[in-house]
Structure 1
Amino acid sequence: MLNDYILGIIFSIGYISRGRLIFKNKNKYFLEQIQRVCGNNIYEQKDKNNVQYVLSTKYFNIEKLKSMGWSSRNSDIRQLPRLKQYGDFLRAYIELHSRFDYSTRYRSRQKKIKYKALRLRIYGNKILIRDINKILNIDASTTLKSPQNEKNNKTSCISYTSIDEIKSIFQYIEQNPCFNSFWEGIENKLRMPVIV
């Protein structure tokens, strides 16, 4: 059954090739979620000495997906589908298109005492990111961010540096199914949000 979580995976990594919807990712888990719906086989593909998993299917109605706002991964315009609630969709999207790192901050106005603090970055097409920014502002009580546009002028990134906002985002999207190793990584990082 096509649920919002699987729709989040389709919008995150699906693209069209020869009339088929193709999914590729280094984490087999995401393709297994798609496989549960369509039943197609997953196979391994080597890409520059790295293994990635691939699933190809004609199961999904591409025109219906397009009517919901989906477009192939490299499109100039990608929109969010209209959903009643975005927590499940965004859980898949954020599991696939976010990164944790540490940014340098300063403890004093004179910028003499440096430390590193946790930062969450969410990436994607600029229209998707604009809409995700608004949803997280309303549903996860985050402040609106100023997206940073990439040189290609198609993609952008929003960054969250407040630990309270990061926790609020993950409380908003926390449910099952989920990519367990991603969530274990979050728990580990949130145990040590600051490096002195």
Structure 2
Amino acid sequence: MGAKIEALTGMPLSGYSYGIAYATGGITEENGIKYLRIRNQDKSYPDCIAAEIGGNVFQSHYHEKIGKNLQYVLKARQIKALPPPENIPDKAGFCRAYIEIHGLLDLRNAKNGSGNRIKALRLRIYGNETILQFINQQLPAKPKKLQRIKKENGETSAIYFQGKAEIKNIFQWIDGTPKNQKIWDKWNEIL
């Protein structure tokens, strides 16, 4: 089947685009018709899917009206459903997009074996529990315990990776194209 599979309507999407869809989109129903809606502050994500299937990305000012940032939207009306992640052949591409959108690479305060304070690498991935469990099984690292995090607007889940070698292996495995170069440039500064 290769790096692309077809949605229920016969439109091919890459693993990366399916990762975008799961990370920042969802199936919406409008006037009794279901379709995929992608919404993100970074225009490159809806643009990526639009390049694969066609369609126009537009600015949504709704979030500005309620004091939040401008978002870019793609209504992919030809996509009526998303396949389960385990059916997507390009798992690295799927994970790359999801981690770009919901991942955070930073340096945390830690102590080394001598008790000295150091900055240690940490990768946190946030999101839907089911998707995180799937990603946890795909990454070339020891599966991590799913953390539940309570926030003001509800509850989310996260997985944390803290070993430098493990994190570098993850980034080597997910690296590929397409990708959001701005995000990767920031990550490379930290790595």
Query: Scaled by the length of structure 2, what TM-score is found?
Result: 0.80
2:13 maps to 1:2: yes
| 1: CA distance, partners of 2:150 / 2:69 | 27
Would the alpha carbon gap of residues 49 and 151 (structure 1) be closer, same or farther in structure 2, given more than 3 Å must change?
A: closer
Query: In 2, distance between residues paired with 1:154 and 1:85?
Result: 29
1:116 & 1:17 partners in 2: Cα distance?
47
Post-superposition CA distance 1:47-84 (Å, at most 9, x none): 2252221112311132xx2xx23xxxxxxxxxx23234
State the aligned residue count.
170
Partner-residue secondary structure (3-state), 2:86: coil
Task: Pick from 40, 49, 60 the counterpart of residue 45 of structure 1.
Answer: 60
Alpha-carbon distance between aligned partners in 2 of 1:94 and 1:108, rounded to the nearest angstrom: 30
Give the secondary-structure state (helix, strand or coil) at the position aligned to 2:126: strand
- Offset, 1:116: 2.3
Structure 1 49/155 Cα, relative in aligned 2: closer, same or farther at 3 Å? closer
CA RMSD of aligned residues (A): 2.0
Q: Out of 119, 122, 126, which is 2:122 matched to?
A: 119
1:85 Cα offset (Å): 4.4
Point out the structure with the larger strand share.
2
Q: Within 5 Å, which residues of 2 pair with 1:42-121?
A: 42-46=57-61, 47=63, 48=67, 50-62=69-81, 65=82, 68-69=83-84, 80-108=85-113, 111=115, 113-121=116-124
SS in 2 for 1:128: helix
Q: CA deviation at 1:169?
A: 0.5
Q: Separation in 2 of the partners of 1:14 and 1:53?
A: 11
Q: Give the TM-score, by structure 1 length.
A: 0.78
Q: State the alpha-carbon separation in 2 of the partners of residues 84 and 20 from structure 1.
A: 22
CA drift of 1:45 comes to: 2.4
Of all paired residues, the percent bearing the same amino acid is 32
Q: Which runs of 5+ in 1 are unaligned?
A: 70-79, 191-196
Instruction: Determine if the alignment matches structure 1 residue 177 to structure 2 residue 155.
Output: no
- 5+ residue gaps, structure 2, are 1-11
